[in-house]
């Protein structure tokens, strides 16, 4: 990725495509801005006029429940107009190219694209090929990045643990295919977490995962020792090109989070999952629904964090226009 495509010349956010290349100060500013929006959910009027008159297009070429709806709610709470493009019923299904779809939406004078696409780099491609006043936010591209998910995860961790420099975090499951894990590892390292571990069978670990900034473990007994934050991931079967596991039962036995395995971590460790969760595959229902789980808090926090990212990026676009 071009180092500063997502930043203006003076280092401000224009697009949000990846955590890569963003400073600790900028990540902390996103978390602080999100904090200022979080209190709005308690108010009777849940709107601010920051993006009044702006049009935001949700362009989801892959399925989504949490990300698409929280982006829509975030945009609505910022008073923007929102277009949700249903790709299944759009001209994409008649063979229109991505670039032609973008050109046609640009002709409607829109201001921001929120993009989810199965191909890594799709959001960056759109940012490089859109009109200069349009901001692009990556809502998940292939196996590359899901930076807004990582930021809402950091926000949720901060709510419970305050000081990143004292934290040992374990990300468990299908690391190989996970854009979420890649973005979380980058964010945790940028925020100077004490230790980031990934726990998975060898077949689900990227080669040289240490270079990404995480220490690999092949079993839960060692990997969960002294851990403060546990992040479970689902098996991304849609991205597996061959049989990488003997069976889901065997996977659950070795890597599924059960009460016995949770007991290895610190007594106050929190349990996270970006969703969708597969109960009985990577996590036991009794943990997913327990007081140790902050999974639904992650979903709620997605609104404030996405409000922060959209408003910061759009403000900087306006400054450049």
**What residue ranges bind ligand CP (CB under 6 A)?**
64-67, 140, 149, 274-276
Nearer to ligand CP, 6 or 183 (CB): 183
What backbone torsions phi and psi does residue 205 show, to the nearest 5 degrees? -110, 135
Report the 10 Å Cβ neighbour count for 87: 16
Nearer to ligand CP, 21 or 275 (CB): 275
The least distance separating ligand CP from the CB of residue 317, rounded to whole angstroms, comes to 24
Q: In this chain, which residue has its C-beta nearest to ligand CP?
A: 67
The least distance separating ligand CP from the CB of residue 73, rounded to whole angstroms, comes to 13
Nearer to ligand CP, 63 or 104 (CB): 63
Nearer to ligand CP, 6 or 149 (CB): 149
Report the 10 Å Cβ neighbour count for 226: 13
The least distance separating ligand CP from the CB of residue 271, rounded to whole angstroms, comes to 15
Nearer to ligand CP, 67 or 278 (CB): 67
The least distance separating ligand CP from the CB of residue 60, rounded to whole angstroms, comes to 8
Nearer to ligand CP, 276 or 280 (CB): 276
* Residue the block writes with tokens 């079967």: 237
Encoded tokens for 73 = 């709610």
The least distance separating ligand CP from the CB of residue 244, rounded to whole angstroms, comes to 21
The secondary element (H helix, E strand) that includes residue 84 is strand 81-86
What backbone torsions phi and psi does residue 212 show, to the nearest 5 degrees? -75, -15
Exposure b/e, 46-58, CB count within 10 A at least 16 = b = eebebbeebbbbb
The least distance separating ligand CP from the CB of residue 136, rounded to whole angstroms, comes to 17
Report the 10 Å Cβ neighbour count for 308: 27
* Residue the block writes with tokens 């226009």: 321
Q: Is 56 helix (H, G, I), strand (E, B) or coil?
A: strand
Report the 10 Å Cβ neighbour count for 205: 18
DSSP string, 145-159: B-HHHHHHHHHHHHH
């Amino acid at each position: 990725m071009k180092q500063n495509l997502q930043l203006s010349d003076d280092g401000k956010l224009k697009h949000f495509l990846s955590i890569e290349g963003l400073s600790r100060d900028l990540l902390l500013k996103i978390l602080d801005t999100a904090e200022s929006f979080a209190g709005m959910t308690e108010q009777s009027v849940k709107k601010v006029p920051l993006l009044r008159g702006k049009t935001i297009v949700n362009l989801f070429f892959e399925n989504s429940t949490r990300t698409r709806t929280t982006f829509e709610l975030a945009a609505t709470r910022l008073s923007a107009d929102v277009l949700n493009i249903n790709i299944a019923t759009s001209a994409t299904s008649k063979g229109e190219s991505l670039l032609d779809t973008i050109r046609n939406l640009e002709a409607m004078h829109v201001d921001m694209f929120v993009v989810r696409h199965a191909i890594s780099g799709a959001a960056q491609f759109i940012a490089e090929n859109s009109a200069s006043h349009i901001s692009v936010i990556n809502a998940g591209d292939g196996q590359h990045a899901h930076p807004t998910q990582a930021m809402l995860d950091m926000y949720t961790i901060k709510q419970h643990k305050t000081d990143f420099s004292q934290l040992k975090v374990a990300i468990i499951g299908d690391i190989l295919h996970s854009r979420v894990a890649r973005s979380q590892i980058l964010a945790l390292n940028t925020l100077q977490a004490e230790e980031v571990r990934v726990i998975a069978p060898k077949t689900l670990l990227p080669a040289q995962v240490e270079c990404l900034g995480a220490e690999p473990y092949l079993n839960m007994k060692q990997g969960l020792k002294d851990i403060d934050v546990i992040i479970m991931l689902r098996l991304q079967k849609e991205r597996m090109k061959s049989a990488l596991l003997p069976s889901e039962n065997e996977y659950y036995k070795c890597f599924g989070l059960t009460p016995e395995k949770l007991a290895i971590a610190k007594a106050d460790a929190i349990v996270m999952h970006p969703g969708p969760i597969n109960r009985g595959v990577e996590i036991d229902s009794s943990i997913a629904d327990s007081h140790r789980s902050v999974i639904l808090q992650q979903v709620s926090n997605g609104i404030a964090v996405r409000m922060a990212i959209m408003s910061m990026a759009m403000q900087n676009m306006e400054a450049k226009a």
